Amino acid sequence: MSGGNVTYQLRPNKHVERLLFVELVEKIIAYKSSSFAYISMGGPQLEDHKLFHQELGLVDLFSFEEDDIVYQRQKFNQRPSCVTCIPKTISEFVVNFDNFIDENALIDKTLITWLDYASPKRREQLIEFETLLDKLSPNDVVKITLNANPATLGEAQRGETQEDLFARRLETLREQIGEYLPSAAVSDDMIARRLPAILSGAIEIAAEKGTSKDHRITPVLLSQFSYQDSDHIMLTVTIRLTIKSEEDDFRKNISNKWEYVPKSWQDVRHINIPALSAKERLEIDSKLPTVDFVALHNILPFRLHTDDQKSLEMLQEYARHYRRYPSYFQVVL
């Protein structure tokens, strides 16, 4: 389960990131026609399964859930009917992967799998990711979401210096993920804006290990985002297992259609859309799209932050995703 008890009205950044994922998969599907199946941990509302059916027409949809309360809510909220809700952990899916494929007649399907983790049990999550990659086939797509909140590595103690706190966090991360820790990691990386890139490096190591037995394929990095989700900072990474002889063509094709392809594993884009009132949003939307954000910022009758530069950056981030910005309305039933 990942964030299963957090209402989606409090998760606009995750909403935007989910729509970006759907857009990416749409471009992957356009590159090579195939029959796709989607597997993830859908939470009580099965929001991403609905999107994959409504936007992409997928009908082979599977959700794993270990929490019985959430599973019962999934069964009640199940829509579309082609979602198969499975009361098991994602770990059981990975361990029993071959049986799952056979039982659901997915041998000829291209798999899209989202390992959507919320807890900071990073080592076992990286091991599951690596194990899954070893079992997948060329063209399969895997997305993994990890908790990137540095506070999960240790809170400041009374009398502790910042330097000592960061050193303690790094040692905790080293003990936690072991061989997955990038060699370049230093204590100064144990802050909110730098930890996602370190965990991205850990995912890179796991991806290389997970694909090392099949010399035909390489893990191609397609997206990397960090975002604030309720009280936590999350990192989400998407890769595609690509035949090496097709790698250059695939990269060129996707890069021409998808502006968010990372330049490297250290290139993590942060999604930080401001919380806007309906009136504020309508005011900004009436002046979009634009290329002159400074001029737009200057004429707005309000600021998004006490710091003018940060306010401008938040405006630009909103403008980048305003078509994906969620709209919530009160409805009396």
pLDDT, tens only, 102-155: 999 999 999 999 999 999 999 999 999 999 999 999 999 999 999 999 999 999
Q: Which helix (H) or strand (E) covers residue 64, if one does?
A: strand 60-64
Res 324: pLDDT: 92
6 has a pLDDT exceeding 70: no
List, for residues 87-107, the tens digit of each pLDDT value. 999 999 999 999 999 999 999
**Is the bond leading into 120 cis (omega within 30 degrees of zero)?**
no
The whole-angstrom separation of Cα 170 and Cα 19 is 33
The whole-angstrom separation of Cα 259 and Cα 321 is 13
DSSP 3-state assignment of 38? strand
2 has a pLDDT exceeding 50: no
Mean local confidence (pLDDT), 25-29: 96
List, for residues 43-53, the tens digit of each pLDDT value. 999 999 999 99
31 has a pLDDT exceeding 90: yes
Q: Cβ neighbours of residue 122 under 8 Å, at least 6 residues apart?
A: 146, 147, 173, 176, 177, 180, 199, 202
Task: Please report, for the chain, the start and end positions of each structural domain, with discontinuous segments joined by +.
Answer: 8-271, 278-324
185 has a pLDDT exceeding 70: yes
Mean residue pLDDT across the chain: 93
As beta bridge partners, residue 5 has none
From 200, 271, 195, select the one nearest 15 (Cα to Cα): 271
Res 56: pLDDT: 96
Place of tokens 């097709």: 246
List, for residues 207-266, the tens digit of each pLDDT value. 999 999 999 999 999 999 999 887 889 999 999 999 999 999 999 999 999 999 999 999
- Cα torsion through 251, 108, 237, 85, rounded to 10: 160
Res 71: pLDDT: 96
5 has a pLDDT exceeding 80: no
Q: Which helix (H) or strand (E) covers residue 200, if one does?
A: helix 195-210
Which two three-digit tokens encode residue 323? 């078509």
Which two three-digit tokens encode residue 260? 């968010």
56-65, 196-205, 225-234, 236-245: which has the minimum mean pLDDT? 225-234
The whole-angstrom separation of Cα 183 and Cα 291 is 40
Mean local confidence (pLDDT), 264-287: 93
The whole-angstrom separation of Cα 182 and Cα 196 is 12
32 has a pLDDT exceeding 90: no
Res 310: pLDDT: 92
Kindly give the pairing relationship between strand 232-243 and strand 217-229: antiparallel
For 235, other C-beta atoms within 10 Å of its C-beta total 24
Place of tokens 């994959």: 52
Kindly give the pairing relationship between strand 269-271 and strand 217-229: parallel
Res 8: pLDDT: 52
Distance of CA 222 to the CA centre of its chain: 11
CB 145 within 8 A of CB 151: no
1 has a pLDDT exceeding 70: no
7 has a pLDDT exceeding 60: no
What CATH architecture is 8-271? Answer: 3-Layer(aba) Sandwich (3.40)
